[in-house]
Each structure stands twice: as C-alpha cells, then as structure tokens.
C-alpha cells in the first residue's frame, strides 16, 4: 500500500491560523530556568547551610545598621555600591550574612552570593547566573522573560561576564520597563570577592557593576565584601568606580573587645550547660585571658568556641585549659599580618591530632585542593581508600575549622587552608611538604603497578585492587577511580617540586604505559 503524503507535489504552501502545543512551549521555557539553575551555585546563596551564621545578637550593630539604612534609602542615593573591606578574620562574612537576612525579611534582597576558595565556590562564570536565578525565584515577571531568553539562547550561561550581565539583567529589565512592569529596587550582596578565581575576573565584576550604575541599566544596589587586596583597592579607587561607591573599612581593633566578650560569654555558657559544668565556669579571669589572646579577631573567638565545644574531646574544661596555655607563648602580630596569633591556635589543633591518623588528615585536606574533586567526600574517600566511618573519624579532629555535611567538606574560614598551604606558618604540618610528597609517591606506585603487570587488564578485578587503595570501597566505578588517580597525580606533579629520586621513578620503563590504559 503506497504511503499517503498530504503535501506531495504541493507548491507555495501557506498555513493560516497555525496551532502550536502550548504545553510543549511552556515546558521548553521552563527548561530555560533549569538551564540557569544548572549554571548556578546554590550553595553560595545566603540561606545555604554552607554559609556562616549571622552575627551574634547584639554585636556588629553599627555596621549592620549602616548597611541596612544605606540599602533602604531609595533611588536618590549617590553611591549605589557599598564596599565593606578589611583583613581576614574581622567578621565581614557574618556581617554580610546578617545584612542579607535583614534585607530578605524586608523583601529587598534580590540575591546574595558568597565566594569561598576552600569550599570550591570560586568560579566567576557562575556569579551572574546565580544572582539571576535567585532574583527570578522572587520576581515572576523577570522569571518569565528569563525562561524564553535562555530557551532561545542557552549559550548565554557560557558567555563572558559582560555578555552574561547584558543578557541576564540589562535586556530583561529593559523589557520589563517597556511592558510597564513594576521593578522593585533590590540589593545584591557579593561576599568574599577576593576568593573568586582570577584577579582579572574580580576587577571585571566590579567594573561591570559600576558601568551599569553609571548607565542606569539595572535598578540594583550592590554590597561587596572583600579583603584589602591591592588590585581590588586600585579598582574601587579608580575614578569610574569610586564615583558610585561608598567604602567602609573593618579593622583589627581592641575596640570590639566588648562585643567579642559578649559572644564568648554567651557561647561558653551554652557549652557549660550542655555539659552540666558547675558554676562558675569559665572563670572571669579566663574570659579576660581569652579576650587578650584574640586581639580583636572575631574569627579567632569563633574557632576557639568550636574547639572548646568539641564533643569528640575529653570535655570543654580540658579544651579550655589547652587554649589558655597559648597565652604564654603567643607573640602579638603586626598590622601587616594580624592573623599571627591565630596561627598558634591552628598549630595547636594540628598538634593534637593523633600521630596514627595525622597523615590521613593531611591527605584529606590535600585532596580538597585538587580542583576536580570539589571537596566531595565520595571522591576523597575513593582516592584514599577510606570507608565513610574512617573518613568521618579523621575529619572529627578538625571540628574547630570545618564540618562534613552530606557529601561535602565545608570550611568555616579561608584562613585555615591559607595556613596549611604556607610552610612558614604551618611548619611541619604544611600540605606541600612531607604529606604531599608521600601521597604523590603512593599514587605513582599504584599507577605503575597497574601498568607494569602484563596480566592487568583495564578495569579487571586485579586492576581494581591496584588502582583502588581499598578494593572493598564500592563507591563509584573503576573508570572514575582511575581517572581521579590520574587527576590527583597530575595536580601534585605540577604543584610539588621534583627531587632526583622522584624524577627517576617517574621515567622508569613502564610508566609511559599509563596512557595505554
């Protein structure tokens, strides 16, 4: 039976009143927002569990009130950028978090994004996509335009930052104005700008925002929080940016001792109640010693509270005594390096790790620096051959500076991994010294063993035993395990120097066969 074709032989067809499946169109447009979400970092939002807690009640009120008042002034303000700047550890992130919560409660928050280098939230390409997605979740007319915009051109998410900004903000907002839609003036908060990968990207972000303000292309006001990096100082002080920016500097100052004391007294009282400690605990003179030890650094106080409250220790009394003992050895830091006092405490944390698991702890920290691992615990365990229980036991020794949540390692503050990378500060515990060399050698041994044996077939049982540090760890497939070993080995090869012994081992016959696998 011949196939019937309605249009066979037809010429110059004209279709009047075409009908399209609206459900299909709607679903396609919804995929536009899904694409945007896939190019975002939800963990960087203000209400993510990965972000720091807000300021302790009754502290940093001067800065919170100043920023919230600035954000609520309305469109007549001259400075639509607020730059909160200061050294590490003075509380910029907790202030940003408190302000985000205040603006959100008043429905004035468009979005908040927190960069974090140790937590692998450092991709500049995901900043404007994340902000756009957060705002779209609050503003339906804006969301409707974004759906069709990204459906029509999904490559927007991969364009350079200036094009992203133009297509995600300028054009949609212009269309909203044309459609006479109400566009509420909202605040965007960007915390930890200096932890974004690439100096040029950090400067570009600020310059794009400043240009938008000068050209009145988006009704957004912007709060930036960052360290006083020289390139950021130069950018914010440039004529084009400074004309639309208000700057406020947080300093390391003993003037905040009263606020730190309030936080410390409240938190230690809570820990004392949880452990049913007899009063008075801690003693008033101990509080005074701690305040002097902290020297105006909020991050020091916060880390010590985590340390004293560690439920895996022998109890808060012994933890407190260990911290108080630091007061006799600490030398005061300089204005150029205010975290030197905190380094003594970080050393104390590392010194208290049992010797039999110290290398494992260092290796866990080392794996978090490998870009492809993204602090995912499954990949870290797979590389190191650790069970979930072994992994968590090792991580509990670092309770004061990080936590394990779901499938991620989350660091409380960038200063700890900065410390662990610097041999002058972390000394024998530095990740780039002994532990790094040992891990690289172990990875090289496993790769060479898999290549050297002629009976080894890719992804066979014998191959699996060689490639995996622990063949009983069934998480992930063998191909992924092998690729992760290659990624880790190459990273450490480019990061760590090569001595004569390591170099000879690298070029021994057989290692070239890795590529064949």
Nearest to 229 by CA among 376, 414, 49, 386: 414
Tell me the average pLDDT across 311-338: 76
> Comparing 17-31, 120-134, 288-302, 493-507, which segment has the lowest mean pLDDT?
17-31
pLDDT at 184 over 50: yes
**Which pLDDT does position 25 carry in this prediction?**
37
What confidence tens digit (pLDDT) does each residue in 191-204 have? 999 999 999 999 99
Instruction: Output the pLDDT for position 180.
Output: 83
Inter-CA distances, 58 with 63, 163, 288, Å: 12, 42, 19
Q: Please, what is the angle between helix 500-507 and helix 434-452, to 10°?
A: 20
3-state secondary structure of 221: strand
d(CA 46, CA 298): 20
Condensed to tens digits (0 to 9), the pLDDT of residues 451-476 reads 665 555 554 444 554 554 444 444 45
pLDDT value, residue 7: 40
| More confident position, 474 or 432 | 432
The answer on pLDDT for 429 being more than 90 is yes
Q: φ, ψ for residue 472 (rounded to 5)?
A: -85, -10
Q: How far is Cα 115 from Cα 26, in angstroms, rounded to an integer?
A: 34
pLDDT surpasses 70 at 18: no
449: Cα within 13 Å, side-chain hemisphere:
15
Distance, in Å, from the CA atom of 396 to the CA atom of 364, rounded to the nearest integer, reads 12
Between CA 440 and CA 506 the distance in angstroms is 11
Query: Do 193 and 225 meet the contact criterion of CB atoms below 8 Å apart?
Result: yes
Question: Which candidate, 29, 23, 24, places its Cα nearest to that of 154?
Answer: 29
Give the C-alpha distances (Å, rounded to integers) separating 462 from 233, 449, 467.
56, 10, 9
Average pLDDT, the chain: 84
The pLDDT of residue 80 is above 90 = yes
For residue 408, give the H/E element and its range.
strand 408-411
Report strand pairing: 402-405 vs 408-411. antiparallel
Element (H, E) at 404: strand 402-405
Using DSSP, how many helices (H) and how many strands (E) does the chain show? 24, 7
Say whether pLDDT at 335 is over 90: no
| pLDDT-above-70 percentage for the chain | 81
- pLDDT at res. 9: 52
The distance from CA 410 to its chain's CA centroid, rounded to whole angstroms, is 8
H helices of 189-276, in order, are 199-214, 230-236, 239-242, 257-274
pLDDT for 314:
85
Q: Which letter does DSSP use for residue 53 in this model?
A: P
* Cα pseudo-dihedral 124, 126, 127, 132, rounded to 10: 160
Residue 20 pLDDT class (50, 70, 90 cuts): very low
Average pLDDT over residues 343-358: 92
């Amino acid at each position: 039976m011949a196939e019937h074709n309605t249009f066979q032989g037809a010429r110059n067809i004209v279709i009047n009143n075409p009908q399209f499946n609206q459900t299909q169109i709607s679903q396609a447009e919804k995929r536009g927002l899904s694409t945007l979400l896939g190019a975002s970092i939800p963990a960087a939002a203000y209400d993510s569990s990965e972000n720091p807690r807000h300021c302790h009640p009754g502290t940093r009120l001067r800065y919170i009130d100043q920023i919230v008042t600035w954000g609520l002034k309305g469109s007549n303000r001259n400075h639509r950028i607020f730059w909160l700047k200061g050294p590490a550890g003075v509380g910029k992130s907790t202030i940003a978090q408190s302000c985000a919560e205040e603006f959100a409660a008043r429905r004035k928050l468009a979005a908040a994004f927190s960069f974090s280098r140790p937590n692998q939230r450092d991709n500049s390409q995901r900043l404007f996509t994340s902000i756009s997605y957060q705002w779209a979740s609050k503003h339906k007319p804006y969301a409707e335009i974004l759906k069709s915009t990204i459906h029509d051109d999904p490559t927007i998410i991969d364009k350079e930052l200036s094009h992203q900004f133009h297509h995600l903000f300028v054009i949609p907002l212009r269309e909203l104005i044309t459609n006479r839609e109400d566009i509420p003036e909202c605040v965007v908060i960007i915390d930890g700008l200096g932890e974004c990968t690439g100096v040029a990207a950090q400067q570009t972000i600020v310059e794009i925002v400043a240009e938008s303000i000068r050209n009145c292309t988006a009704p957004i006001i912007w709060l930036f929080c960052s360290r006083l990096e020289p390139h950021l100082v130069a950018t914010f002080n440039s004529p084009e940016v400074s004309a639309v920016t208000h700057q406020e500097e947080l300093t390391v100052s003993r003037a905040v001792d009263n606020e730190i004391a309030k936080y410390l007294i409240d938190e230690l009282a809570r820990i004392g109640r949880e452990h049913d400690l007899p009063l008075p605990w801690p003693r008033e003179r101990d509080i005074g010693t701690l305040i002097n030890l902290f020297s105006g650094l909020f991050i020091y106080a916060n880390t010590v509270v985590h340390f004293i409250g560690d439920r895996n220790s022998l109890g808060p009394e012994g933890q407190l005594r260990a911290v108080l003992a630091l007061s006799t050895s600490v030398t005061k830091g300089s204005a150029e390096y205010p975290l030197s006092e905190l380094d003594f405490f970080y050393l104390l944390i590392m010194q208290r790790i049992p010797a039999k698991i110290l290398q494992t702890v260092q290796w866990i920290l080392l794996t978090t620096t490998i870009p492809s691992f993204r602090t995912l615990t499954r990949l870290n365990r797979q590389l190191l051959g650790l069970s979930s229980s072994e992994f968590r036991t090792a991580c509990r020794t670092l309770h004061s500076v990080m936590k394990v949540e779901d499938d991620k390692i989350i660091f409380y503050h960038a200063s700890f991994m900065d410390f662990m990378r610097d041999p002058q500060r972390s000394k024998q515990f530095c990740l780039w010294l002994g532990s790094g060399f040992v891990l690289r050698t172990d990875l090289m041994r496993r790769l060479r063993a898999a290549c050297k044996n002629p009976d080894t077939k890719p992804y066979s049982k014998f191959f699996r035993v060689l490639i995996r540090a622990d063949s009983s760890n069934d998480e992930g497939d063998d191909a992924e395990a092998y690729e992760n070993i290659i990624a880790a080995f190459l990273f450490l090869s480019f990061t760590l120097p090569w001595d004569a012994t390591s170099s000879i081992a690298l070029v021994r016959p057989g290692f070239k066969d890795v590529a064949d696998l």
